[in-house]
Structure 1
């Protein structure tokens, strides 16, 4: 199962994106994690790219054994990178979202460019509930 939705690049759309994702994964054990990842990635898109300057961002979700969670922006910012925890133990307020996602995810990646936009994605394990498939009837061998 896969879904994709475009949101206006406004701060008030970040909770809408989170609710969209959590609704789709409500029957799984990782709905909260999916919601967290969407919130962080959408926040980055709105705060650091052209998406937040009158543009839009998109959320793509796939439930196929792993949860694929991706947010695409319009570019214009730098290149998204995972910053390490500060050595001095300082409690900085910003810049830890991708680090937190990297600790939750089986894998994390970025593709694209500041000129064309980025897609930041994460694969999360723990999706065990999938829509039931109708039973397949097998004809007896003759």
Structure 2
């Protein structure tokens, strides 16, 4: 395993994930009856700061449709959490208009690069073009001075 598991932290993430799903209207329990669902979710709500209670609740009451989704969400959260510790691995985001993203996406597929690599490549090309232009203008100026 690449990333260390932090039991208390992950129990909190699981709690947050389940509560978000519940608030979105999804049934997070294995029960069909509304009143039973409400009472079981109330127990989960009260156990926010108790990792052992959260894990016990998950083991006893979690919907059979959720364990895989929950594990995937926690794995992704763990990865983002540990990658965010270092500046070099922390993800950054930028807002692009759809048309710009579409052009960039097509270009990066054509170049067989990721979007980040494509942006870096384009910046490098622009910088080298600017350097070339400045060298050319300097040579033109020196040629003009020679011909005077």
Question: Normalized per residue, which structure has more helix?
Answer: 2
TM-score computed with the length of structure 2 as normaliser = 0.25
TM score, norm. by length of structure 1: 0.26
- Indicate the structure with greater strand content: 1
**Relative contact order (C-alpha < 8 Å, sep 6+): which is higher?**
1
Q: Which has the larger radius of gyration?
A: 2
